[in-house]
């Protein structure tokens, strides 16, 4: 019994582990790419400044000079790349006593569970922005972009404007106040119309308070609201009405069900891939190394990515907890 560890043992383990890992990883369809803009990154953090823009052009009468203005910058957002990891040990004694089949089976089960586990980690990190986005006390694990010794996020528990992602007092640089949150608003046709009007009209302003176009296309709901959302959005006639009234929100949005949303009656209207970013820093990487003292083999997986909010205006929350 047992095996003789050859010089290419690390590569053999990695090859097997990657095969079983990606079989499970690729077999789990994630939701976050339907919600977040996914971009590559090569840095420890990403940052961006929300430029206010120059606004509308001014008429220039014939023969007069162009009126030049200084550009105005908005808030700066920070997204930190986080490292997620797990590992297990193959002891020297285990390798001596186990046969090839048992060892391969152990690696298969561990690597396959990692494949699903990494997907779960990605989904949970992205969903946390929604689950904790309305908390009046904020949430550093979700929103802190600080990289110690490199950059300090001035609002580590909140988004770039110092407010929760979903709040009733987002202030523009021009001085107006906007809300992308209604704390008590059950999912109904009428309430969906209310949220739609807020995001497409009331909040559709830039930092100069000038009108801009925002086109939401997603209704994001937990599993508990799946049938409610689909009934509302896919019924031609107004649900629950005996008068054959036309349903004004039929096919208005795409219902997206996300099992990682924690508020069982909370819901969100938003524009897919707008205002939210997922930075892919390092793909899942499996390593195999040996401890020279114990002769044990360490097998680990590492995944690096960062998520954050770059513009609150593209999203509206309803019926979610604030504490």
CB-based contact 1:100 (threshold 8 Å): no
The answer to whether position 56 is within a domain reads no
Across the range 107-123, mean pLDDT stands at: 94
In whole angstroms, give the CA distance from residue 86 to residue 121: 11
pLDDT at residue 93 greater than cutoff 70: yes
Do the domain assignments include residue 79? yes
Residue 54 pLDDT: 63
Residue 85 confidence (pLDDT) above 70: yes
The Cα–Cα gap between 302 and 323 comes to 33
In a domain, 200, yes or no: yes
Give me the pLDDT at residue 4, please: 46
Q: Is the pLDDT of residue 191 over 90?
A: yes
Q: Is the predicted pLDDT of residue 70 greater than 70, yes or no?
A: no
Residue 232 forms part of a structural domain: yes
Q: How far apart are CA 36 and CA 122, in angstroms?
A: 11
Q: Which two tokens stand for residue 53?
A: 């823009």
Confidence of residue 1 (pLDDT cuts 50, 70, 90): very low
Whether 309 is in a domain gets the answer yes
What percent of the chain lies above the pLDDT cut of 70? 92
pLDDT in tens, 120-173: 999 999 999 999 999 999 999 999 999 999 999 999 999 999 999 999 999 998
pTM of this structure: 0.89
- Decide if 196 is inside a domain: yes
- Residue-level pLDDT at 72: 66
Length of the chain: 323
Domain that holds residue 252: 12-51+75-318
The CATH code of the domain that includes 184 is: 3.90.1690
The pLDDT of residue 3 is above 50: no
CA dihedral 290, 295, 299, 304 (to 10 degrees): -50
Q: Is the pLDDT of residue 176 over 90?
A: yes
Number of domains in the chain: 1
Instruction: Calculate mean pLDDT across residues 65-88.
Output: 87
């Amino acid at each position: 019994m047992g095996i003789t560890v050859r010089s290419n043992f690390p590569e053999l383990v990695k090859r097997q582990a990657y095969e079983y890992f990606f079989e499970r990883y690729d077999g789990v369809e994630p939701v976050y790419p339907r919600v977040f803009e996914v971009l590559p990154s090569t840095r420890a953090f990403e940052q961006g400044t929300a430029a206010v823009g120059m606004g509308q052009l001014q008429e220039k009468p014939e023969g007069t000079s162009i009126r030049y203005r200084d550009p105005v910058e908005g808030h700066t957002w920070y997204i930190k790349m986080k490292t997620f990891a797990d590992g297990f040990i193959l002891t020297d004694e285990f390798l001596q006593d186990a046969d090839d089949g048992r060892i391969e089976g152990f690696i298969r089960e561990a690597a396959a569970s990692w494949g699903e586990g990494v997907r779960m980690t990605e989904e949970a990190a992205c969903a946390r922005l929604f689950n904790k986005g309305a908390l009046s006390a904020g949430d550093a694990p979700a929103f802190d972009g600080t990289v110690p010794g490199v950059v300090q996020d001035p609002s580590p528990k909140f988004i770039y404007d110092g407010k929760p992602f979903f709040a009733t007092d987002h202030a523009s640089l021009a001085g107006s106040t906007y809300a992308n949150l209604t704390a008590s608003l059950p999912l109904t046709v009428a309430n969906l119309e209310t949220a739609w009007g807020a995001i497409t009209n009331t909040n559709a302003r830039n930092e100069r308070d000038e009108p801009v176009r925002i086109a939401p296309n997603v209704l994001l709901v937990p599993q508990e609201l799946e049938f409610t959302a689909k009934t509302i959005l896919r019924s031609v006639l107004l649900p629950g009405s005996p008068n054959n009234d036309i349903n004004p929100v039929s096919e208005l949005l795409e219902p997206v069900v996300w099992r990682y949303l924690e508020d069982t009656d909370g819901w969100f209207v938003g524009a897919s891939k707008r205002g939210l970013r997922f930075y892919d820093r390092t793909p899942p990487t499996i390593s195999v190394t040996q401890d020279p003292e114990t002769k044990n083999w360490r097998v680990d997986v590492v995944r690096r990515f960062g998520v954050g909010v770059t513009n609150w205006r593209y999203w509206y929350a309803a019926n979610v907890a604030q504490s």
